[in-house]
Structure 1
């Protein structure tokens, strides 16, 4: 697993556009179309199964926007919304959202210990690496590697994505394969616990 993660990160870093190439001010002009679902600045989605985009990481956001536009990652609610945007438009949009503040949620107290254990230590018995290894001990993500911030993200959205990875509904190359392998080993209860934990992680 460690070799897979290291290889995927190296390959992605060599292939991707450098983060920090976007113009937040230019991105702000295109962000109005996103507000209807994700809220002002991408910080307050209208449904908890929609992601917060604020502070998520420019490299990650840009990569996902490209996948969505190309159809590699299918999100019915976003069909056609990015069709008229250029690569630079997507980079600018990612830069804008990355500069917005991510509000922190409230973890379920009953799930904190289980979620914390998985996030910080993984599960040796099940071969699950610690989430903090890629997503940072505070859940702030890893910008150069395009690993997203998890701190403050809606728990319902995190669970939805973990299940999508496990069920093979979200697969966009080597980076997704890391999460597919991990999610396949998580039970529904474990997904809910770790998702709740990161929603309130500071």
Structure 2
């Protein structure tokens, strides 16, 4: 009997962990306004400096939406877009975009070796940790920790964000301190290489 109860509790716990608080179907109804920049389903942004939103991780997406709405993360293009949305609306949007499939791009063949070495092993000489430690060797992120998936993200967007972290321009959010520290140790060439690598990672 104890095993049965333990099994039920474990099963319910895993189910709760597997599903976030958002409703993807409800989120789809509010996602139309996002398509103008991020593309249908958040998979093909109209400009490479805009992020792909598909499959990034529900917790990460929700946290970013909250930060953008509150102004903790300033994105001029999104000013006012989330003002009328409730917290549940934001959760639903995050669930919707996370349920969409990431479209993986093609890394620059000339940068793959350097990018892969950085992503998987970091740079011991300069103190850069391996990206895979938080974002998963396959680039799928870490949902419970709120670390986003990177595999398939546009290289241009990753470059823009790493440089923003390095300059202290993206300082909001729970994990900003970690990323600011990492980015402060990256050269422009390393940023370009690792960004290109993750754009083709799946």
TM-score by length of 2: 0.90
Residue 173 of structure 1, CA deviation? 4.4
Residue 170 of structure 1, CA deviation? 0.3
Match for residue 31 of structure 2? 31
Structure 1 residue runs without a partner (length 5+): 1-17
83 and 19 in structure 1: CA distance in 2 versus 1, 3 angstrom threshold: farther
Q: Radius of gyration: which is bigger?
A: 2
Residue 174 of structure 1, CA deviation? 4.2
Match for residue 22 of structure 1? 22
SS at match of 2:100: coil
Match for residue 132 of structure 1? 132
- The whole-number CA distance in structure 1 between the counterparts of 2:170 and 2:125 is 26
* Paired residues for 1:1-202 under 5 Å: 20-202=20-202
**CA deviation vs aligned residue, 1:93-147 (integer Å, no higher than 9, x gap):** 0000000000000000000000000000001110110000000000000000000
Structure 2 residue runs without a partner (length 5+): 1-17
Structure 1 contact 19–143 (Cα < 8 Å) conserved? no
Match for residue 6 of structure 1? none
SS at match of 1:109: coil
- The whole-number CA distance in structure 1 between the counterparts of 2:31 and 2:146 is 21
Match for residue 9 of structure 2? none
Structure 2 contact 49–157 (Cα < 8 Å) conserved? yes
- The whole-number CA distance in structure 2 between the counterparts of 1:130 and 1:183 is 12
Residue 172 of structure 1, CA deviation? 1.2
- The whole-number CA distance in structure 2 between the counterparts of 1:173 and 1:145 is 13
- The whole-number CA distance in structure 1 between the counterparts of 2:40 and 2:119 is 29
- The whole-number CA distance in structure 1 between the counterparts of 2:140 and 2:200 is 12
Number of residue-to-residue matches in the alignment: 185
**Displacement over 3 Å in runs of 4+:** none
TM-score by length of 1: 0.90
